Amino acid sequence: MIRLYFVTNNKHKVAEAQKILSKYSVELEPIDIKKVELQSESLEDIARYAAIEAYKIIAKPVVVEDSGLFIDALNGFPGPYSSYVYKTLGLKRILKLLEGEENRRARFIAVVALALSCEDVYLFKGVVEGVIAHEIRGGKGFGFDPIFIPIEGDGRTFAEMNSEEKNIISHRGRAFEALGRWISANRDKLIYIL
């Protein structure tokens, strides 16, 4: 069992990630230090910076995740600022912004950064394509899940799926799967670091 620190105060994210990483014998240890988040339109830059800043504090292998909802008709908004926009505008105002808009294409993107030192940072990306629903549907998940319908699904929003269903196709699920596979392939090397 490999143990990795995970900088987050979002229990939903820990639960989603842990379900996937358990398959790869990785245990996530949530750690409640301040995640230093840059303003940037690049989730990669945000995640890399946050991972390095976290490593500077705890000096142990550490994982951070950054994700966002990118809506085409809104030029990628809310993007990296999704959690702030969810908190201030909320779901209804996103639907209002898209009233009368034919192009409802959007994607969720997640980037996971693993810092093994301040120089060794590995990035894992997951994407799920979808459309913004015309109404809020479902009580599961969190954030923008109730208005996001993945294209690979059956028309339900993420908030209408249980966590197993969502994990298979979700951006976060895919990013953590990529991390899990990478750890499996590099276990020999990692054992000395972790």
Would you say 99 or 119 has its CB closer to a second copy?
Answer: 99
Binding of a second copy at residue 134 (CB under 8 A)?
A: no
Nearest to 35 by CA among 50, 17, 18: 50
Select from 30-38, 149-157, 170-178, 183-191 the region that touches a second copy (CB under 8 A).
30-38
Would you say 89 or 168 has its CB closer to a second copy?
Answer: 89
Sort strands 121-132 and 105-115 into parallel, antiparallel or unpaired: antiparallel
Binding mask 153-182 for a second copy (x = CB under 8 A): ------------------------------
Q: Please, are residues 92 and 136 in contact by the beta-carbon 8 Å criterion? A: yes
Binding mask 81-100 for a second copy (x = CB under 8 A): x--xx-xxx---x--xx-x-
Binding of a second copy at residue 75 (CB under 8 A)?
A: yes
> What one-character DSSP code corresponds to residue 61?
-
Is residue 66 among the annotated active site residues?
A: yes
* Minimum CB–partner distance for residue 118 and a second copy (Å): 15
* Minimum CB–partner distance for residue 80 and a second copy (Å): 8
* Minimum CB–partner distance for residue 75 and a second copy (Å): 4
Residue 15 CA: distances (Å) to CA of 29, 39, 46, 117 = 11, 26, 22, 25
Query: Site residues (CB under 8 A) for a second copy?
Result: 36-41, 46, 74-77, 79-81, 84-85, 87-89, 93, 96-97, 99
Residues involved in catalysis: 66
